[in-house]
Amino acid sequence: MRGSNVLKRLYLLCSFLFVTSLWADELESILSENKSLLFDYQFQSNELQSDILSKSWINPVTVRYGKDYTTRFKTGTIDTGNFSVYIDQPIFRSGGIYYAIKYSGALRNANRADITLQRRQMIGDAVSILFQLKKIRLEQQKMRYQVKNDLIDIQQKRDSYEAGLLDSSFLDQAILKKSQDETALLEMKLNEMELKQRFSLLSDKAPEKLRLPKLKLIDKQSYTRENLELKRDSMRALEMDYKEKVTWAKYLPTVSLNAQYNNGDLNPLFPSPNLNEAYYNYGFSVSMPLDVNAFSDIELSKVEKLRAATEVLDRKDTISEEYDWIRNSLGILDRKIALARKDEKIYGNLYKVTKNLVQAGEKTSLDADVMKNSLQIRKIDQRIYSIDKQIQLLKLYIRVENVL
């Protein structure tokens, strides 16, 4: 039994990966060229900044060439040239060099995860708009059926009112209901225009030509393991851990190697056989700063480390709650679909009965049209709820890595 559960999990995960990987081929480039370029530049900038930071412990080599002229002597103008190379390089910082390199790597990975998350969120926004466009078109279709029923209701109430069988207030309510539904239909059209405008800000593609994905629910363990927000926060925690060690090392002894190469002209008026034009100076130094803010600086780095570690724990709780909430909302939507499907069967049977009654002369064709329109409305409701499920699943997708 346990083995079957494991196989079921693997099947769901593989299905999710397969479906979304197919979707990736089509929607990976959904963002406009400028938006994609901006993310590419962010990735490149992060890599270059991290490379610079990882080598920041290496001091620059100073190369200098100079030429001096003097008219001090009566013999005329005398010029002397000098070329020098100077190095002052720390070779031991009580572990600070090692942890500085580790710190730059953790910072690189944290920023990379954050940029990837931003990109996924933007893609998710664009795909969410595509789902909303499809949903609002279905809602407009549904509302048109409702307006048809409103017109039938007005006609039936007008006939009853003219026959003296119904009070005028019922006819007024029917007319008002039709006006409200038509207004709602116009609002939907306006919302559709707004969604298209929002999509154009993210993508330069035609929304009607893009195929929507069919997302499935990934299991909680895989969602947690691949969650980009958790990976980013974990890298931030590791980054703060290395930063604390770098801060400690900053106030411990440092051993530096210094060397200088000089090649300069000797003053021709003061020749000396004991001097060389080219020579070396080299040595080493041991230093340790005595800073009144050292303790506070170290304590601050420790607090930042603890805060980052706590944020990881908090993120895990948030991820768990988000996943449970989405899974529960999917359950509610499934129940809505089941109810709409049940109503569809009821209206289907009523429509058949009403058509038979129309043929028997006991009902009018308008009664049959009402049942037919209501049947179509409940069919559309099922499709709308299915889109709502995809929008909920999309919230999981944009936070998950390796499922693009």
CATH of the domain at 282: 2.20.200
Does 277 share its domain with 320?
A: no
Any domain includes 387: yes
Counting the structural domains of the chain, the total is: 2
pTM: 0.82
pLDDT at position 363 over 50: yes
The amino acid at 113 = A
The answer to which of 14-23, 189-198, 299-308 has the lowest mean pLDDT is 14-23
Selection from 76-90, 107-121, 244-258 with the highest mean pLDDT: 107-121
Q: Are residues 247 and 309 in the same domain?
A: yes
Cα–Cα distance between 201 and 35 in angstroms, integer? Answer: 9
Q: Which residue has the higher pLDDT, 8 or 346?
A: 346
pLDDT bracket for residue 268 (50, 70, 90):
low
DSSP designation for 267:
P
Looking at the domain assignment, is residue 163 inside a domain? no
The reply to whether 353 falls in a domain is: yes
Alpha-helical (H) ranges within 261-364 are 294-360
In a shared domain, residues 372 and 258 = no
Domain of 84?
59-92+254-287
Is 75 in the same domain as 194? no
Residues 87, 197, single domain; the answer is no
- 65 and 197 belong to one structural domain: no
Full DSSP string of 220-243:
HHHHHHTBHHHHHHHHHHHHHHHH
The pLDDT tens digits of the residues spanning 217-239 come to 999 999 999 999 999 999 999 99
Compute the mean pLDDT over every residue in the chain, rounded to the nearest whole number: 87
Residues with Cβ < 8 Å from 227, sequence gap 6 or more? 319, 399, 400, 401
Q: In this structure, are 338 and 383 located in the same domain?
A: yes
Determine the average pLDDT of the residues in 163-171.
86
Within a domain: 233 = yes
Kindly state the tokens that stand for 111. 């920023």
Is 322 within a domain?
yes
Average pLDDT over residues 109-123: 93
Any domain includes 8: no
pLDDT tens, position by position, 33-88: 999 999 999 999 999 999 988 888 888 888 888 888 777 777 777 777 788 888 88
Q: Are residues 350 and 390 in the same domain?
A: yes
pLDDT of residue 229: 94
Tell me, yes or no, whether 305 and 203 share the same domain.
Answer: yes
Do 260 and 86 contact (CB within 8 A), yes or no?
yes
Rounded Cα–Cα distance for residues 353 and 359 (Å): 10
| Range from 93-102, 221-230, 249-258, 273-282 carrying the lowest mean pLDDT | 273-282
Rounded Cα distance, 30 and 41, in Å: 18
Q: Mean pLDDT, to the nearest integer, of 400-404? A: 65
* 3-state SS class at 290: coil
Residue 347 pLDDT level (bands cut at 50, 70, 90): very high
Binning pLDDT at 50, 70 and 90, where does residue 1 land?
very low
